[in-house]
Structure 1
Amino acid sequence: MDRIYFVDNPWPNGHRIARFEWRAHFKYEEEEALEGKAGLYFDFHLETADYDEDDSEDDLEEEDHEEADDWQAKIVWNNYHSCTLSSEAWDNKGFRVGSDQAPFDLAALDGMEFKIDFLSEKQQEELNLDLTAFDVYLLGHDASAFHEIKFTKTEHQTYQIDWKGKLALVYAGDDEFKYDFHTSISSVSFSGITIPDDITDEAAYILLSRFVSNPALFELQNDHGERRFIFK
């Protein structure tokens, strides 16, 4: 069972991942506003079970008086119930894997590692959460950055995803990325490149050809009007 670990929080054994999805979308509208960032973007959506899922009724009473700050206090974590770490739950974000200059190469995905939102000191001081790849609800609506994401093919088109990054408790007024998380998704299949309703199949194929190096490795699936490109 896959778990996510928030280093030095009150649960050293981590938290069960209740839902994980991997898909993609194209960014192409208002390309001047995108400032050269049009392309194919991967999306992750991760939800945990309740933080205290594995606790007994006595755990909070036994441990709470020993904890020093919000990060180490079960009572604080339990106020927020569970975590959602997502590039799409609140906005259309994600991380770019294909562009005009470097189209996405499916054959190269096995073993590929992406480093995302490695913010400079100035970017951290002037933190703009509209520009980061993922949003996170952890102890309130917080911030995530410094992601390292590696894909390892396990069979046919199924992959293991190793993901680590850093968190800042901005909801509590702390914008320093001093907390670490890590997880390994042992086996996940790609859910496809979503195609918005306002473009035709022909226009979608043009975007696929533009941002993917070998479009023939994908096929269009239409499931009751919901269209997406999936791996063959």
Structure 2
Amino acid sequence: MDNKDSRIYFSKNPYPSGHKIERFRWFAELKPSLGILFHFELESEDYNQGEEIEIPKILISDYEMDENIDPDPNFFWETKYFWFMHKRCIISSINIVGYNHFDDRIIKYSPYDGGVLVGTVSNKIDFNNLANVLIKADSLSNYDKKNSIKSHIMSCECVDHEIQIITQKKHQYDIYWKGKIAEKITGGRLDFCHSFKAKVSNVKFEGIYYPENLSNQELRISLAKYSINFDSIPLHKENFRMKNKNL
């Protein structure tokens, strides 16, 4: 991945120039009883790059405790302090991310069984034709169901993912990713009033991960069941999920 040209932007947040993408992964997972899934994981740099952040005079807790304060629905989203407290953005189909605001050097990753189904018996994926593919996941109409992709963006939910894969050069791709973001507001109702967009440059497709208990023959049978032109794709017999890390 080319870090210089890879950025993510959030509509109407206090950083109009966006945030550099620090890490990005894209690979496939073979589930023999289901099909082939694509996985994506995007992690930005810290929102705050050494800037001194002022603590707001009125915090969210004040809104919750004082009925006389008329809450501004954009206060949370447009205030740098709250972005600073959430540190960075992580959008992932393989991990649920936990972050302790009081121990800001640790990010905790918990396995998540997500992923976007791209290869089935009736609609096989062609690994020789990954260019100009548009992938959609987690439509707004089904936002209350189990999502294919989870997010750590200001404790907000994301839906309506559109991921466009464009060929840059042999085995290198540019990826354009956009989606809608909802703040959790009073009464548990979600209002999808925000959005994000990202461009990731010169991404390498990692290959296909498969269960360790498959024999070589079972592996080839399963791959042929859900895909074509997979012979030149790297195959990995290992766990692909992140462990906790120190920043």
TM-score tier (shorter)? 0.7 to 0.9
Question: Partner of 1:51: helix, strand, or coil?
Answer: coil
Q: Deviations over 1:181-206 (max 9, x none)?
A: 00111110011111222322322222
Partner of 1:18: 22
Q: Please report the TM-score for the alignment, with normalisation by the length of structure 2.
A: 0.75
Partner of 1:40: 36
Distance in 2 between residues matched to 1:190 and 1:39, nearest whole Å: 18
The structure with the greater share of residues assigned to helix is: 1
Change (3 A) 1:177 1:18: same
Q: 1:211 aligns with which of 226, 229, 232?
A: 226
Distance in 2 between residues matched to 1:6 and 1:108, nearest whole Å: 31
Distance in 2 between residues matched to 1:51 and 1:171, nearest whole Å: 23
Partner of 2:202: 187
Partner of 1:97: 118
Question: Partner of 1:110: helix, strand, or coil?
Answer: coil
Q: State the shift of 1:74 in Å.
A: 0.9
Verify: 1:82 aligned to 2:85, yes or no: no
Write out aligned runs for 1:61-72 (5 A). 61=54, 68-72=74-78
The structure with the greater share of residues assigned to strand is: 2
Partner of 2:153: 138
Q: Percent identity?
A: 31
> How many residues are paired up?
206
Partner of 1:226: 238
Distance in 1 between residues matched to 2:150 and 2:239, nearest whole Å: 25
Does structure 2 conserve the Cα–Cα contact (< 8 Å) formed by 1:168 and 1:174?
no
Does structure 2 conserve the Cα–Cα contact (< 8 Å) formed by 1:21 and 1:46?
yes
Does structure 2 conserve the Cα–Cα contact (< 8 Å) formed by 1:64 and 1:74?
no
Q: 2:128 aligns with which of 107, 114, 125?
A: 107
Change (3 A) 1:41 1:13: same
Q: State the shift of 1:220 in Å.
A: 3.9
Q: 1:162 aligns with which of 148, 170, 176?
A: 176
| Unaligned ranges ≥5, structure 2 | 59-71, 97-111, 241-247
Distance in 1 between residues matched to 2:172 and 2:194, nearest whole Å: 30
Does structure 1 conserve the Cα–Cα contact (< 8 Å) formed by 2:26 and 2:41?
yes
Q: State the shift of 1:3 in Å.
A: 1.0
Question: Partner of 2:191: helix, strand, or coil?
Answer: coil
Verify: 1:196 aligned to 2:211, yes or no: yes
Does structure 1 conserve the Cα–Cα contact (< 8 Å) formed by 2:11 and 2:195?
yes
Partner of 1:56: 51
Letter of the aligned partner of 1:150 in structure 2? Q
| Unaligned ranges ≥5, structure 1 | 30-37
Distance in 2 between residues matched to 1:80 and 1:20, nearest whole Å: 19
Question: Partner of 1:209: helix, strand, or coil?
Answer: helix
Does structure 1 conserve the Cα–Cα contact (< 8 Å) formed by 2:208 and 2:234?
no
